[in-house]
Structure 1
């Protein structure tokens, strides 16, 4: 593995786990990094758009019920869900071309059994 990008709120534990991947470089992005240094529309890069463009796969692990619901409904209120919203995984056929090929999203749901068995969870998955 060459490079790993991580965005989320559980920085410490996840970073330690990612270090086991033996990547040459691990970048950790937090919600507050989204608009840090942003000053001008059309000039400055927007982090979630840059991450969506530069990464090859998107992993949500662990994926809690709250983030699953946000993803299913298209809500984008933090860095991880904004990256998902900018991620080309469910484009209409006319919008898929060589420059914008579909890219994989991998999810590892993590919740208790009762939460997992709720009908709404099944709908969200």
Structure 2
């Protein structure tokens, strides 16, 4: 699958004063188009889409619900689509911008919909072997690095996408303990989590919540930010 980004290196600083809320959307769901279109109805929102290799295979253009990725750039407000290979393309030179750092700097909100068991396990163990995980690993969890933000920038993980047995597996609980104790996660109820610096929301145990509810979480955050 071809890259959908410009050959010109992405520099977050160029968008500092665009007066928009920047949403980095990482999704492996058939409702990716619906979510992107709904978010972009707010003309104060700018969206960049990040697609991992497994998500790219899932979103293979097999139906209208699984669009060819390039068609998402036709949505007004979707500014770019990134895949793992874009981390080093165009060829990186010493001293040049690193994509996952620039995306971290650019984003006001990171939305992952959904978060798989594999992604959760890698986060808990500090693994950063794809573009999404590199962004998460480099996230400013203290709020002390990325200046210009009134609060720590939220990561919103919309549901743990796994079957009930995987969800209830002792390894899952062990990884959640790491995330609670070391990342500042706190359980709000058996079906969802909250982060000290944002929100993690879920549907029924291990299932993807409705895409409209995911969009509402982001829209509510944006509305609150605009009022502050």
Instruction: Kindly report the root-mean-square deviation, in angstroms, between the aligned alpha carbons of the 2 structures.
Output: 2.4
Q: Is the CA contact (8 Å cut-off) linking 1:52 and 1:83 kept in structure 2? A: yes
Q: Aligned ranges for residues 47-62 of structure 1 at < 5 Å?
A: 47-62=99-114
Partner of 1:38: 91
Is structure 2 residue 144 aligned with structure 1 residue 96?
yes
Question: Counting helix residues as a fraction of each chain, which structure ranks higher?
Answer: 1
Structure-2 separation of matches of 1:86 and 1:106: 15
Q: Tell me by how many angstroms 1:106 deviates.
A: 1.1
When residues 49 and 97 of structure 1 are mapped into structure 2, their CA distance, relative to the original with a 3 A threshold, is: closer
Q: Unaligned regions of 5+ residues in structure 2, if any?
A: 1-39, 60-65, 177-228
Is structure 2 residue 165 aligned with structure 1 residue 114?
yes
Q: Unaligned regions of 5+ residues in structure 1, if any?
A: none
Moved more, 29-38 or 4-13: 4-13
Partner of 2:82: 29
Structure possessing the higher radius of gyration over alpha carbons: 2
Is structure 2 residue 119 aligned with structure 1 residue 71?
no
Structure-1 separation of matches of 2:67 and 2:162: 17
Structure-1 separation of matches of 2:92 and 2:164: 45
Moved more, 57-66 or 74-83: 57-66
Q: How many residues align?
A: 116
TM-score normalised by length of structure 2: 0.45
Higher relative contact order (CA 8 A, sep 6+): 1
Q: Aligned ranges for residues 6-25 of structure 1 at < 5 Å?
A: 6-9=49-52, 10-11=55-56, 12=59, 13=66, 23-25=76-78
TM-score normalised by length of structure 1: 0.78
Deviations 1:11-49 (A, max 9, x none): 433877xx5xx652242110011101133221x211100
Structure-1 separation of matches of 2:132 and 2:145: 25
